[in-house]
Amino acid sequence: MTQTLLQIDSSARMQGSTTRALTTRIAERLGGALTRRDLSSALPQIDENWVNANFTPEADRTPAQRAALALSDQLVAEIKAADVLIIGVPVYNFGIPTALKAWIDQIARAGVTFRYTEAGPEGLLNGKRAILAVASGGTKVGSDIDFATGYMRHILGFIGITDVTLVSADEQMIDAERAAQSAEDAIARLAA
């Protein structure tokens, strides 16, 4: 059975982006049916209309509310259809790019990708795998100043995706060769 991959690129750079190169290499390594989502042209920020539509029961939504959620519904459908998410995570100023945060805001939806229970929130997108292709200039992945990877692991777990692997090319401005080799080694270890 062929696995389905969702490649999400969030780097503002179209040329010379380490994370774009890594997500492509990972997709090639894993193989399978591939859907690509490029966030560089920026998704809309959620606004009051979106929030009101999201918290209106689906059966009661107006046509305008359905339209407000149409992109979000499409993004969630892409995740639901995928077995593996390959997410490019460039570290910008110690965190994730705003384009990636906008995607998260569109897909983290109560009653759709997670729900609240008496025991606390429960993710609804179980059984999926995520691979984070992380690149940074000077931030060491996993350090006290890396606010990107911990956040991504948390938000993915929040929606039910707990099988998360990091492929990192961190601290490129300190040791570019080591960063590139570290990422290549991690890709080589990935099982299809």
- Looking at residue 20, its pLDDT comes to 97
Interval 88-147: pLDDT, tens: 999 999 999 999 999 999 999 999 999 999 999 999 999 999 999 999 999 999 999 999
Higher pLDDT, 42 or 126: 126
Residue type, 111: G
Choose among 136, 125, 130: nearest CA to 96. 136
- Looking at residue 2, its pLDDT comes to 87
Model confidence at 191, pLDDT cuts 50, 70, 90, reads confident
Q: Coil, helix or strand for 93? A: coil
Q: Is 11 marked as binding a ligand?
A: yes
Question: What domains are defined for the chain?
Answer: 4-189 (3.40.50.360)
Global pTM value = 0.96
Q: What percent of the chain has pLDDT over 70?
A: 99
* Mean per-residue pLDDT of the chain: 96
Evaluate whether 160 touches 128 at the Cβ level (below 8 Å): yes
Beta strands in the chain (DSSP E): 4-9, 33-38, 84-90, 114-117, 120-123, 129-135, 163-169
- CA–CA separation, 80 and 100 (whole Å): 18
Q: Please, what sign has the CA dihedral across residues 158, 159, 164, 168?
A: negative
Reply yes or no on whether the pLDDT at 192 is more than 70: no
- Greatest Cα pair distance, the chain, in angstroms, is 56
